[in-house]
Structure 1
Amino acid sequence: MISDQDGEPGSPINETRLPSLLALRCFEAAARLENFTRAAAELHLTHGAVSRAVRMLEEDLGVPLFDRRSRRVFLTDAGRQLAHAVRDGLGLMRGAVRELRAQARRSRQWVLSCEPTLLMRWLIPRWPDFQRRHPQLDIHLVAGGGPVSFGNGIDLAIRRDDFRLPEGVHAARLFAEQVGPVCRPEQAAEWFTSRAPKLRAGAPRLHSKTRRDAWRTWASAVGAHLPNAPEHAFEHFYFSLQAAVAGLGVAIGPWQLVRDDIASGVLAAPLGFVGDGSHYCLLSPAPIDAGSVQDDLLAWLRGKA
């Protein structure tokens, strides 16, 4: 078999052989910029390397591609013909490479850590909608709270910004935290006044050890006085909300965590909700790129807020 290097001049084999990709890249940059020096800078090559690559390409094709005048270069008719074809070809290759890289990023499993109560009461009930909208994304949900360390199996995290972020962590806000007292609807008249609604003295208050200041924060936000009342403390925030659902007293309920129970009539919020100054955020180890897995997730989360 005769290789294309050994083919006879003018033979079909010789005519269809493609020049080197490096030569074509040097030519495309020089043609687009009409300047060998700027083309060399863009490709991180020397001016001489670009000039030699273009000269070899001209010798290979047997036609001049540039008209060289003093320190400037101009495309010939042949150069314009080739520049158009090379530009289209490189564009197709870049598009294919970009798509393949995006597919690779999307095909791997991502791990999203979320504060436990938000995970149970807000994210998981809505997660089937995300899976229907993004069936190609494989995101594993795990429960976690407080500061997060990326690189230990966690790719993204949803946290309330009640702690200082580690250096380099990027936070994209999802929604503001809004809180208010919640209880069983049938107990609202017993534990809240109807005129100028406020909490009655004696209404049992439910606390959580993970949010010890929840009642004081709410009272400060609305300018309310907390009367003396029985108090019950629970180990986790989720338990205090479940205690309110069970009718054991009044809990401070963040809107996003109790909105489903209010919509279904399981809980009532006689005094409404007020912002406590904090926000939930999607944390990532770097700013989120448009069109990425993180961007798809961020848009969906904000849409559900």
Structure 2
Amino acid sequence: MISDKDGELESHINSTRLPSLLALRCFEAAARLEHFSRAADELHLTHGAVSRAVRLLEEELGVALFERRSRRVYLTDAGRTLAKAVGQGLDLMRQAVAELRASACQQRRWVLSCEPTLLMRWLIPRWPDFQARHPGVEVHLVAGGGPFAFGSGMDLAIRRNDFPWPPGCHAAPLFAEQVGPVCRPDKVAAWFGVAPAQAGCPPGVPCLHTRTRPGAWAQWAAAAGQPLPEGAGQTFEHFYFSLQAAVAGLGVAIGPWHMVRDDLDSGVLAAPLGFVEDGSRYCLLAPQPIQPGSLQADLLAWLRAQA
């Protein structure tokens, strides 16, 4: 009685135990391609390894899965039944693996908030270089200025220290803010005279202002030791509008060097009085200290290199 019971249990275990995954993969590829050599090429195995795996699978199942004719193989009825089941199973596994990888990639997706004008005129033009260095990392750039909170889907932020930062925020300095009057090169002589660097900002210069940085001219004047210009000018809603107005020749704007450096290099804008540090600086802000060797540390090093 005991041996009979044991025999039935052993028989049940043998009937439900799956063959090795390697044998099933070899069989699935051979069944799909109806060719052992092509299956071997696809799996980066030898023809002999695939043939042996299929033969052992047939011995384990006790059925012929292929009819072998010359150099070709053809599925038997049993082979077609198993091929359909194994193919569906492998498809499910591939789908699960793809979903897990997509989820992992999503977890590596960062949100980096940057002040709009700096984002538009400095960061985005240089961003392809960072992407080329880190092709497997997705960083979503968003425009944002002023107060913020890390608990709202934001991972990192680039801000100027002209407002209180969130409690517990960790700041890594990037560069000091350098500002100066900028205008079109063909307007320099008319608005600043022959030797503008010594003459300062003459009265009557059409100054361009912005509501998002209303104190830009006063801060520059204080930092440069120059009188505040009294010339009439226009006021724009956003800082980058005032810089674009300067490009259009509408007047003189206060331009931070990092935001106008490309226009200076291309000759679109000129800085007749140069630049001075205004006492503020930009920083990369994070909710925790940036760990050496991390991807955040790579980003920080890259940002500093671009400055």
TM-score band (shorter)? Answer: 0.5 to 0.7
Is residue 172 from structure 1 mapped to residue 172 from structure 2 by the alignment? Answer: yes
AA at the equivalent of 1:149:
A
Q: 1:285 — aligned with what?
A: 287
| 1:101-112 alignment, distance < 5 Å | 108-112=108-112
Q: Report the equivalent of 2:252.
A: 250
Structure 1: 4+ residue segments shifted above 6 A = none
Please tell me the residue identity of whatever aligns with 2:188: A
Q: Deviations 1:49-84 (Å, cap 9, x if unpaired)? A: xxxxxxxxxxxxxxxxxxxxxxxxxxxxxxxxxxxx
Please say if 1:234 is aligned against 2:236. Answer: yes
Q: Which position in structure 2 is the counterpart of 1:150? A: 150
Report the equivalent of 2:190: 190
Q: Which has the higher helix share?
A: 2
Q: Distance in 1 between matches of 2:229 and 2:253?
A: 15
Residues 82-101 of structure 1 mapped to structure 2, 5 A cutoff? none
Computed over aligned residues only, the root mean square deviation of the Cα atoms, in angstroms, reads 1.6
**AA of the residue aligned to 1:187:** K
Give the whole-Å Cα distance in 1 for the aligned partners of 2:200 and 2:167.
43
The Cα shift of 1:230 comes to 1.1
What is the TM-score with the length of structure 1 in the denominator?
0.64
CA contact (8 A) 1:107 1:137 kept: no
Letter in 2 for 1:167: P
CA distance in structure 1 between the partners assigned to 2:145 and 2:279 by the alignment: 19
Q: Which amino acid aligns with 2:165?
A: L
User: Secondary structure of 2:243's match?
Assistant: helix
> In structure 2, what is the Cα distance between the partners aligned to 1:169 and 1:106?
24
2: distance between equivalents of 1:261 and 1:303? 19
Describe the superposition over 1:214-266 as per-residue Cα deviations: whole angstroms up to 9, x where unpaired.
00010011111134211210000000000000000000000000000000000
Counterpart code for 2:173: R
Of residues 219, 223, 226 in structure 2, which corresponds to 1:224? 226
Distance 2:144 2:116 in 1: 6
1:115 maps to a residue whose letter is E
- So what's the TM-score if we normalise by structure 2? 0.64
> Aligned partners of 1:256 and 1:227: how far apart in 2?
23
Structure 2: how far apart are the matches of 1:105 and 1:286?
A: 21
1:105/1:293 contact within 8 Å kept:
no
Secondary structure of the equivalent of 1:205?
Answer: coil
Distance 1:227 1:238, change over 3 A: closer
Q: Specify the alignment match of 1:62 in structure 2.
A: none
**Greater radius of gyration (CA):** 2
Same amino acid, percent of matched pairs: 68
SS at match of 1:218: helix
Which residue matches 1:276?
A: 278
Letter in 1 for 2:128: P
